Structure 1
Amino acid sequence: MKSLPLVNNGQDYDSNSFVIGLVLALTSSLFIGSSFIIKKIALRKINASGNVRASAGGYGYLKQWMWWLGLITMGVGEAANLLAYAFAPAALVTPLGALSVIVTAILSSRFLNEKLNVIGKIGCFLCIIGSIIFIIHSPKSEEIKTFSELMDKLCDYLFLVYVASIIVMSFIVKVIFVPRFGNSNVVVYLLMCSSIGSLTVVFCKAVALGIKESIHGKLSVYSHFMFWLVLAASIFCIIVQMNYLNKSLDIFNTSVVTPVYYVMFTVLVIIASGILFREWHYMSTEDVVGCSCGFLVVTTAVFMLNIFKDMPISFRELNMNARVRWTNNIEDLQSNNYTLNA
């Protein structure tokens, strides 16, 4: 028996708006991923010239034009990411940020002579496949399309409970868990970073909608008090988020921080956007399962790219190992046959 179709009381994204948001999200990943490579090349040039390293407190990179190019590239990427929230669901834009990891991995192999092993290449392939699955099954409807509607929803009881929970949890983690486990457990700082980050996405979505309506002449953001309030809130959340992310990166290996942060941040953003925008409320069961599978594939890919990136594995080595094992097996069989015949 066929299940009845879901009644869609949400507002559908028009195809042009959805495509614009998708293109902006993909462009953002391309620019942000490239910016890391450009800045890394600039820092290598600075180190080669004998200047004090940035990690040692040096500021020689401020005189290097390529470093500024990398900073501008990252700025363009972040701006594209911000605008993407105005055109596409937050539950789509945020997970696609994993594509910047692929861009960085591929470009570092090309321009920084960093080896991308077999597992890394498989991870890149899986990340692309998972992103395609996510795009196909991502939410296409939500209850909020304007800045005014979002302002009303920010006062919704359920969302206020979520915000209060984040504040209480962050306070407990900072007071109790950070002093005891902050330097030994990667989850502690990343939990605070990801939870505050989920609010950052909500406030950035509000800022993006305000800018979008201002461009279309529907809203004057310069005279709208709430716009400046959510802008200030988003800046504050970004500062707190980056502070705890930097602490985590300073203590733990990047290969551990990156995948754990991606999973925690994306899950909490999906929860926050689900509560506020009801993006998942109007999806069919097939699309929910498809998005879950896509997210699982992308998560696996991110783990593979980071956890196994330093392992010296190549197709040539795998082929040689297979040949050695095949030769050894044949020699063992021949030895056993000789023993039996004797």
Structure 2
Amino acid sequence: MTEENLKGFILALLSSGFIGASFIIKKKGLRKAAAASGVRAGVGGYSYLLEPLWWIGLITMIVGEIANFVAYAFAPAVLVTPLGALSIIVSAVLAHFILKERLHKLGMLGCVMCIVGSVIIVIHAPQEYPIASVQEIWSMATQPAFLLYVGSVIVLVFILVFHFAPRCGHSNVLVFTGICSLMGSLSVMSVKALGTSIKLSFEGKNQLIYAETWFFMMVVAISVITQMNYLNKALDTFNTAVVSPIYYVMFTTLTILASVIMFKVF
């Protein structure tokens, strides 16, 4: 493992710990807000915005995401993203003891399989090609194959949001987590581009003068807000031990697919 990949690896581990804990803290906050207002986030309530515990969970997640953001600047997405498996273990264990959402034997087996799969991917993670400018990333993002992927994601998200979410969003966990995962794959590619731009700027190659950098920043903001909204709905509606692994698997799979298409990292 190169020094750059090692930095990304350590940051990704720290990120997963914070994000895994944030699931539990936010779930506790959502429960308190629902009990106080009588309107749950899963049915469109936003009373959790007045709940301090939910904000603590959000801050914990932001810390984890910042570590994740920096990790993407050092290591390829196919190395960083699978390490999110640790967040599943953290959230599953904490949910078992704090939220009393019992983890059964098959759930434990699933956690072990996530760890094994992530270790295999990390061991065989490819070396990333050096990127000299944000414009180089822009040329990757505007290639026909990736534009087709982005178009497909946007269409699927609109179908899930406007057709499936009102009808079966509260009975099928794949709807809310699907929206989060699809948008997440786009946010990771944008975070990777933005992180690389900031890293290059600190090295003396200012990338903030290019419009492409600000475009990637806008995509990150839109994607993260969408993810946060529907992740809250998923956590409020379904068991954390169900939401966390399904979200992880879908998000990781889509992110690796997007990374392969955009960065040609096999």
TM-score normalised to structure 2 length: 0.80
Quote the sequence identity (%).
48
Residue correspondence of structure 1 range 168-183 to structure 2 within 5 A:
168-183=155-170
The one-letter amino acid of 1:237's match is S
Quick one: structure 1 residues 207 and 103, their matched pair in 2 at CA, closer, same or farther if it must change by over 3 Å? Answer: same
Indicate conservation of the 8 Å contact 1:144/1:277, yes or no: no
Count matched residues: 255
Q: What's 1:313 paired with? A: none
1:138 aligns with 2:125: yes
Give 1:207 shift: 1.1
Selected match of 2:210 from 224, 230, 252 = 224
Larger radius of gyration: 1
- AA in 1 matched with 2:67: A
Equivalent residue number for residue 273 of structure 1: 259
Tell me, yes or no, if structure 1 residue 255 matches structure 2 residue 241: yes
Q: Which moved more, 1:166-175 or 1:90-99?
A: 166-175
Contact 1:189 1:245 (8 Å CA) reproduced: yes
Q: Distance in 2 between matches of 1:106 and 1:251?
A: 19
- TM-superposed CA distance for 1:26, in Å, is 0.9
Q: Which runs of 5+ in 1 are unaligned?
A: 1-13, 48-52, 281-342
Render the CA deviation track for 1:30-63: whole Å, top value 9, x for unaligned.
Answer: 23234456x47996xxx9xxxxx3233477753x
Equivalent positions of 1:300-311 (< 5 A) are: none
Cα gap change, 1:228 to 1:95, in 2 (>3 Å)? same
Pair 1:54 & 2:40 matched: no
- Measured after TM superposition, the shift of residue 184 of structure 1 is 3.2
Please list the CA deviations of residues 162-197 of structure 1 after superposition, one character each: whole Å capped at 9, or x if unmatched: 111222222333343334433333223332222121
Which moves more between the two structures, 195-204 or 170-179? 170-179
Task: Output the CA distance in 2 between the equivalents of 1:104 and 1:213.
Answer: 34
Report the TM-score when normalising by structure 1. Answer: 0.64
Preserved contact between residue 134 and residue 212 of structure 2 (Cα < 8 Å):
no
**In the alignment, what sits opposite 1:197?**
184
- 1:80 and 2:67 matched: yes
The CA deviation at 1:238 is 1.1
CA distance in 2, matches of 1:237, 1:204: 10
RMSD value, Cα: 3.2
| Aligned twin of 1:322 | none
1:124–1:248 Cα change, 3 Å: closer
Given the alignment of the two structures, is residue 163 of structure 1 paired with residue 158 of structure 2, yes or no? no
Give the equivalent residue in structure 2 for 1:243. Answer: 229
Q: Would you say 1:23 and 2:14 are equivalent positions?
A: no
State the match for 1:290 in structure 2.
none
Distance across 1 between alignment mates of 2:135 and 2:243: 37
What amino acid maps onto 1:225 in structure 2? Answer: A
Q: Is the 8 A contact 1:201 1:269 kept in 2?
A: yes
| Match of residue 41 from structure 2 | none
